[in-house]
Amino acid sequence: MLEIKSLTKAFGRNKAVDTVTFTVEKPAMIGIIGRSGAGKSTLLRMLNRLTDATEGRILFEGRDVTALRGAEKRAWQSDCAMIFQQFNLVPRMDVVSNVLHGTLNRRSTLATIFNLYPEADIHRAIDILDRLGIAEHAPKRAEALSGGQQQRVAIARALMQDPKMVLADEPIASLDPMNAQMVMEDLRRIHEEDGRTVIANLHTLDTARRYCDRVIGMLAGRIVFDGTPEQLTTGVARDIYGADAGFSESATSTEIGALERVPA
């Protein structure tokens, strides 16, 4: 389904993503882990075409995504939703309008600046918000919501796109443990109930273990691990993070259960 062939992104002499190659055969929930600066964000941004690749190709259902330009590129971006660490909503617009932004690729500029969305779309946006449990906030401004709620609005916007794939760049890094858990469960449901592929950059190991079917580890732009959560031992994790024996998984955990699970 998704095939990434020796994808490289160079910033000057520095390679942020270095000949990354992997394949996704069927819809799955994939977690990408690695320390900051390992190239996780750049990889996702290249998949969404927010950043252009220096070399290599991304094939989705046999189509070369890296070669798309103009309207075709925007159509691909609409098929491949992105969720950001800082939510990236329009703060002064109401929640439903933010969700309706998911349909921008299908609507003309003139209709959207006058807020002329079809009624069916508005109803669908409210249904998606209801599914994520935040329908009662529909008429509020996005900036009035808490971080966790804003992230769920961002997920609703992604769902509004009816995407073939959902990318999430550190979706829970700015959230408290309770909201982090809800957002991760939402992402898991998007995969399980809708059968969409979800690729998420995660900054904690236990989140990747708990929610993902497959974990990819990156170090200095290269893939250094690609396997199931079970294969991800503490030793492997130390290699991915370039850490020594003092590295402890529970110390960085954001999972509420972790404190009880691992007595320190």
Partner 1 sequence: MAELSAEGTERTTDIRADYMAMTRRKRLYSGILLIVFVAMMTSGFMLADSRNAGGFWDGWHNILDFPAQVWGEAWEKAAQLPGHLLTFLPALLETINIAAASTLLGALGAIVVSLLATRGMARWPRLIPLFRRVMDVMRAIPEIVIALVLIFVLGGGPVPAMIAIAFHTVGALGKLFSEVNENASLKPVEGLQSVGASWSQRMLLGVMPQVAPNYLSYALLRFEINIRASAILGFVGAGGIGYELKNAMSWGQGKFDEAAAIFILLFLTIVFFDQISSHYRDRLTRGRPL
Q: What share of the chain is helix, strand, coil (3-state, %, to 5)?
A: 45, 25, 35
Query: Taking CB under 8 A as the rule, which mask of x and - marks residues 118-157 in contact with partner 1?
Result: -xx-xxx-xxx-xx---xx-xx------------------
Pick from 195, 235, 246, 263 the residue near partner 1 by CB under 8 A: 195
Closest CB 220 distance from partner 1, rounded Å: 21
Report if residue 162 touches partner 1, rule: CB under 8 A: yes
- Closest by CA position to 31, among listed 178, 237, 246: 237
* CA pair distance 17, 1, nearest whole angstrom: 21
Report if residue 93 touches partner 1, rule: CB under 8 A: no
Closest CB 162 distance from partner 1, rounded Å: 8
CB 32 within 8 A of CB 38: no
Closest CB 61 distance from partner 1, rounded Å: 14
Q: Is 50 exposed, middle or buried (0-12, 13-18, 19+ CB in 10 A)?
A: middle
Pick from 116, 243, 251, 259 the residue near partner 1 by CB under 8 A: 116
- Closest by CA position to 30, among listed 15, 11, 44, 42: 44
> For residues 6 and 115, which CB has a smaller minimum distance to partner 1 in the complex?
115
Strands of 214-219's sheet, edge to edge?
80-83, 165-169, 197-201, 29-33, 214-219, 222-227
> For residues 193 and 244, which CB has a smaller minimum distance to partner 1 in the complex?
193
Using CB under 8 A as the criterion, which residues of the chain lie in contact with partner 1 when the complex forms? 96, 114-116, 119-120, 122-124, 126-128, 130-131, 135-136, 138-139, 162, 193-196
